Every structure is written in structure tokens, then in C-alpha cells.
Amino acid sequence: MKKRVFALTMAAVMGLSMTAFADGEVANKDKPLVWFNRQPSNSSTGELDMAALSFNEKTYYVGFDANQGAELQGTMVKDYIEAHADSIDRNGDGVIGYVLAIGDIGHNDSIARTRGVRKALGTGVDKDGDINSDPVGTNTDGSAGAVQDGSLEINGTTYVVRELASQEMKNSAGATWDAATAGNAIGTWSSSFGDQIDVVVSNNDGMGMSMFNAWSKDNGVPTFGYDANSDAVAAIGEGYGGTISQHADVQAYLTLRVLRNALDGVDIDTGIGTADDAGNVLSEDVYVYKEEDRSYYALNVAVTADNYQDFTDSTKVYEPVSAQLDESAHPSKKVWLDIYNAADNFLSATYQPLLQNYDDILNLDVEYIGGDGQTESNITNRLGNPGQYDAFAINMVKTDNAASYTSLLSQ
């Protein structure tokens, strides 16, 4: 008798709680939300948009440690120059000249990379307490104000290091990080001062590979990018100087994992710093969590001729977090996710394929929306019915525009 009453009570309790959490019962403003790849922030000052980052208790950002990665990229370029001192100065004028492709002058990650390279090569100048990250246009005579000539002493010889040119690679329609624009820029630069260019540096591999294929490969000029996309890693065998892995395999996992945890109502650290029921867990050397930013940051690794064989497939899931979750304990949920620009090399060739691998593992039914890279409304127009989804993953066109999304979820 007692047993029966208990069973009935349990059923009633479960019935109640199931109604309370059934699809459509949770207000959109209370659903899990993750920002990724573009951290809500002021594009002029870099200040984090904490209103967006703490939109509700289940809101997080997933990206990577921009400063650690930028420093690695700068050091990788400097180390290469030092190791190739006898051949690097192609025209023997004592000046090691480099050109720099800038992704988006209002994107924290792009700014950090420009600063990292200038810092390592001694070409940075101070602006408001930090290294100036403005593009210089053309600076073949070394007179630009946004940079200075650096110097490197290698084996007893002192070289001048000069940023010969840099430019934001934005196309006429407004898309940033634009690979085709970078390919055109290297064409223009090389035809007017090609013999002075000893090194090519880019804020990412999409632009870096475009410049490598258009010019530097044939001219034997080392080219450095960022992202460790599979094509760029393969090109290291053909003279591409190196790239940085931002551990997209860890980021894509974290992007969906924080949603899974919030949907399951479990501790947010589950399957992250603490092993989940399938054994998935990340070690501290691949990510950090900053509670005050509500942000997870993956750590970066330099990929050069020494280790590139280990990075040939950028879409492979990270083994320590590749175990399938049990569907009865972690039932399928619907997620709306957008990629700000369907044509972005990194996001389309590396990040999205990884997300698609992890969504199965985590039992998430994700609808992928690809934007045009220029207008936020092209994406927000496709979030007409947020009530259909259990959670949201957002990649903005402009880091200032978080409210365009949160306002849709607040209605």
C-alpha cells in the first residue's frame, strides 16, 4: 500500500516537473545561450559587453585566449627569422621587411594578433597604453606613425625590421577577414616593392593562404597565418611558415557542451573540468574558464615544420571529449546556431564540421544558419520563431550587436 502511494506521488511529482520543463514552457529569455568566436564587446574599446555575457544564468561565451595566441604567433615569426638569418633578407639590404594582412580592425582577436606580431618584432608603438593596432597602408620608407622600425640582432648582425605595409582585408561589400582582398593586396604590394618583402604575416590562414597561393609560394617567402585549417597545415610542407591552432576542437565542444549542461540542469563544469558519465573531460592545459567574463577560452598551440604532421585534420574531434552521451539520460534537444559568414574559411572549413561531429555526440539537434558576413539582419531575420528551440548559439557579424539577438529572445 505504502509503495503504491509513493509510486503515485513520484509520478505526480515527475509529471509536474516534466510539464514545467516541457518544450515551449520555458520563456525564450531563460533558455541557454552561448556566444562563440565573436565575444560581445565594444568594437572601438574592446570592453566586454557584460549585459550580453550575463543575459541570463545560462549564458556563456566560448572563444580562445587571444593574448596567449597572439604572443605565440609573434614568437613563431621571430623564431623563424632568427633560425633562417642567412637567407631571410632576400635583397640583402639589411632590412627584414614584412607585410601584414589584418582581419577586422574592430575584432578583439584580430587586434590582439596585430599587436602580438608588432610586439615580438619590435615594430609596435604605444597608443593609449597599449600597442597601436591600426593598419599603416604602405610604409616602405619607414615613416609611418602607427609603427616604428624594430631591430633584431642575429649572430652578431643587426637587422632593421620594418612593417612595409598592412591593411584591413575588407571587401567592397563590407565583409572582413576577406581572403580574396588579401590575394589582391599581395599582388599590388609585390608588384611595387616585392623584392623588399621577406616575410608575410596574416591575422588568419584564410587570408594567409590566399597570399601564399597568389605570390609567396612561388617566391619562396615564408607566410604565417592563424587557425591551423587543414589546407594551411598541409602547405607547411610546401613552405608556408606556420600557423597557430586555436584548439577549435576544444572550442566547438565547449560551445555545445555548455548548452547541453544547462539543458540537463547539471553543474556547468560537467564534461569540462569534471568527467561526465561517459568519461568526457578536458585537462587544464587546453582551456581556461574566467568566471568574471562568463567565458571559456581555449589555449593555442604553434604549428610549424616541427610538428605539423600532428595537425593535418582540423575537423577531427578531440579524443578526450569524444564519447557518445546516452540518449536516455541526455535526450535530444533543438539548438539554433548561426555562423556569421558562411564563406569564412575558418568557421566553414574547421569550426562547423567540428560542431557537426559534436552535435551527434551530445545528442543536440542543431539547425545551422549561415550569414552573409555583412548584415546582422540577414541572420536575425532567420530567428523568427525562437520558441521552437531549446537553446541558442550565436556568432555575431559585429561584436557590438548582441542586443539585436537578445531583444528577440526577450520579447
Query: Which among 314, 301, 298 has a CA at the least distance from the CA of 232?
Result: 314
If one asks whether residue 227 binds ligand BGC (CB under 6 A), the answer comes out as: yes
Look-up: residue for cell 528577440? Answer: 408
Fill in the DSSP letter of residue 41. Answer: B
Whole-angstrom Cα distance, residue 311 to residue 226?
13
Question: Which cell numbers in the block locate residue 202?
Answer: 596574416
Q: Which residues have C-beta within 8 Å of that of residue 246, sequence separation ≥ 6?
A: 64, 69, 226, 227, 228, 298, 300
- 208 or 271: CB nearest ligand BGC: 208
334 or 398, CB closer to ligand BGC? 398
Helix (H), strand (E) counts: the chain: 14, 17
Q: By the 8 A CB rule, do 286 and 340 touch?
A: no
Indicate the residue type of 64: F
Smallest separation, CB 317 to ligand BGC (Å): 19
359 lines the binding site for ligand BGC (CB under 6 A): no
**Residues within window 10-39 making contact with ligand BGC, judged by CB under 6 A:** 37-38
User: Segment contacting ligand BGC (CB under 6 A): 2-10, 139-147, 339-347, 376-384?
Assistant: 339-347
- Cell representation of residue 73: 604567433
Yes or no: say if 107 and 346 are a contact pair by the CB < 8 Å rule.
Answer: no
How many Å apart are CA 284 and CA 290, to the nearest integer?
Answer: 13
Min dist. Cβ of residue 227 to ligand BGC (A): 5
Residue among 123, 181, 204, 295 that touches ligand BGC (CB under 6 A): 204
Q: Which residue, 177 or 389, is less far from ligand BGC as judged by CB? A: 177
Neighbours of 231 (CB within 10 A): 16
Q: Find where cell 562547423 sits.
A: 352
Q: Please give the Cα distance from 194 to 188 (Å, whole number).
A: 9
The smaller minimum CB distance to ligand BGC, of residues 61 and 346, is found at 346
Taking the complex as a whole, how short is the minimal distance between the CB of residue 196 and ligand BGC, in angstroms?
27
Q: Residues with Cβ < 8 Å from 210, sequence gap 6 or more?
A: 179, 180, 182, 183, 186
Subset of residues 239 to 258 that bind ligand BGC, contact rule: CB under 6 A: none
Cell 590582439 belongs to which residue?
A: 112
Residues 57-116 that bind ligand BGC (CB under 6 A): 103, 109
Least distance to ligand BGC, CB of residue 243, Å:
10
Q: Measured from the CB atom, is 26 or 288 closer to ligand BGC?
A: 288
Question: What residue type is 31 in one-letter code?
Answer: K
Nearest to 104, CA basis, from 39, 43, 180, 35: 43
Residue 195 gets the label, from left (phi > 0), alpha (psi -120 to 50) or beta, of: alpha
Residues 378, 360: Cα–Cα separation, whole Å: 27
**Nearest distance from C-beta of residue 52 to ligand BGC, angstroms:** 16
Q: How many residues at the interface with ligand BGC, by CB under 6 A?
A: 12
For ligand BGC, the closer CB: 66 or 144: 66
Return the C-alpha cell found at 370: 549561415
Shortest CB 217 distance to ligand BGC, Å: 20
Stretch that binds ligand BGC, among 150-158, 274-282, 344-352, 354-362 (CB under 6 A): 344-352
296 is a contact residue toward ligand BGC (CB under 6 A): no
Shortest spacing between CB 80 and ligand BGC, in angstroms: 20
Q: Which is nearer to ligand BGC, 159 or 287 (CB)?
A: 287
The reply to whether 346 sits near ligand BGC by the rule CB under 6 A is yes
Instruction: Pick the stretch among 50-58, 131-139, 342-350, 361-369 that binds ligand BGC (CB under 6 A).
Output: 342-350
Residues 301-330 that bind ligand BGC (CB under 6 A): none
Position among 344, 359, 390, 400 found at the interface with ligand BGC (CB under 6 A): 344
Choice between 154 and 234, CB closer to ligand BGC: 234
Summarize as ranges the residues that interact with ligand BGC (CB under 6 A): 37-38, 103, 109, 177, 204, 206, 226-227, 344, 346-347
